[in-house]
Each structure stands twice: as C-alpha cells, then as structure tokens.
Amino acid sequence: MLVAQISDVHANPNNDNLQRLNAVIAWLEVIQPDVLIVSGDLVDDRWADGYGLIMDALAPLSGRRFVLPGNADDRHLMRECLPKEDYWHHPYEMHFAESVGGVTFVGVDTCLDGKTEGSIPEHLSWLEQTLDRCEPRTAFLFTHQHLFPSGIEPADKFICQGADQFESMLKSCSNPPIAISSGHVHRSMSSMIAGAPAYICGSVCFANPLLLDVSWQLPSEQLPALMLHDFRGGRLVSSHVSVDGLNALSSQSRHLVSA
C-alpha cells in the first residue's frame, strides 16, 4: 500500500499555492496512492472558496482521503465547506481513526483556537484508547503541529505542547504506532519518538530556511514537497519528495539515475 501525505498548502487568492498543489497532484496522479493524508493548513485567511478548489485539485486521486485541520484553518468552515468528508466523528475536534488495507490511520486534531502552537495532552486519553483498539502494530499517527523539536527556533516556538507527556504515553502504551508524521514547519525532517520513526512532511507552499542558527542567512527552497509512505514488502519506507512543477509529468522525471 502507498500512502501520500501533503501539508501546508496555505492557499490564498493572492498566491500561487494552488498551482504548486496542482504540480504535486500531477506527480501523484501517476502513482495513484491508496491513501492521501492532508495534514493541515489548507487555506489562509478563512478563504472558503479555497477549500472547494483544493478538493477539486485532489479529484484525480482515487484513493481514500483523510484531512486534518491546521492552525490556519477554521474547523467550522472546514466542516461546512467539506461536507463529503465522512470520518470526523467527534463533535468538535476533527480526529479520525479508520483502517485501510491493514493500516489504521489515526489523526489527532492538536489545534488550539486562535493560536499557532498545538497541544496534545487533552487528547491522550482518546488516543490511547484508539491505539488499544487497533490491531497490533498497525496504527499510523498524524498531527498538524510537530511533536519533536525541529531545531529551527522560530518554528519551535509553535511546537505541539505536551510532547513529553505524549512520549511518556507511547512508552507505556500496549500498542504504540508504527510511525508518526506531522506538518507545520514547512520543512522535511525526520526523528524518533519513543522508538517510533517521526516525520515532518515538507510543505506545498514555499519552505522555510533551515535556520538551525538564527544568524545564518539561507535562502528558502522553491519546490513544493510531499511524503510517500510505502508499506509494500512488509515494512514501512518513507520518502521525502520535492516536485518540479514545470516537469511533474515529464518523461525525464521517471528515469532512474545510477549512483
């Protein structure tokens, strides 16, 4: 099974992020992943029409889709604009948990109204109960806000609060997730949490510079990014992918290059 993850479109009438999204979808259309995860920050400034335009852009992908809100999103507006999304069963938070192809996709809505940072302690009881109901070693966990420090000081001011409590819960959990993946930072990153691989998916919008030292003067990367999580072969292999919007479907992009 192939699982694609995209994050942080930040669509707005005054930017070209929908075009960047179209380049990502053109790349994914060749692959046709079985599942698509959209891990938050779909639009900016409560742009209601943007939600519909994003769903139109995703239409060529036929697999199961799950969408989490980000801090830039409005839960009420998302529910109103995305009536066909049928997996948000909590009356307020937009958590989800559903099994597809032997993997249980668990999304935790960590957003706080009016704030950029997230918080997870108030959701740990629900999460632990959800993980306990999953078949052993089948849960793949998603959030919007990142759960490990990125090393980028401005981004880590808005990390998901309660990450230490989250890690402690995972260490004592009888059925921890096989992997964890987030968005929010606008950079591709990897780490470990409680022995599980943990990722930050790169953004569809322009990436943030890798400011591991705030005195560095670095340009931001231009290309939209995504992740591809591959469960074929009995193990999880996760790839960070950047897409050239001008050549997303070119034959050159499909050629293997020897090392």
Residue position matching structure tokens 């959209």? 38
Is residue 259 included in any domain, yes or no?
no
Residue 255 has a pLDDT of 43
Query: Token match 């990142």: residue?
Result: 146
Whether residue 198 lies inside any domain: the answer is: yes
Domain count, the chain: 1
Indicate whether 186 belongs to any domain: yes
Asked, for residue 234, whether it belongs to a domain, the answer is yes
**Residues in CB range of 67: below 8 A, 6 or more apart:** 38, 42, 78, 82, 85, 94
Task: Identify the pLDDT of residue 246.
Answer: 52
H or E stretch including 118?
Answer: strand 118-119
**Confidence tier at 247 by pLDDT (50, 70, 90):** low
Q: Which domain holds residue 197?
A: 2-254
Q: Cα–chain-centroid distance for residue 64?
A: 15
Helices (H) and strands (E) in the chain, counts: 6, 13
Q: How far out from the chain centre does Cα 219 lie?
A: 23
Q: Is residue 27 part of a domain?
A: yes
Mean pLDDT of 115-119: 98
pTM of the model: 0.94
**Helix (H) or strand (E) run with residue 197 in it:** strand 196-200
- Mean pLDDT value of segment 174-194: 98
CATH number at residue 55: 3.60.21.10
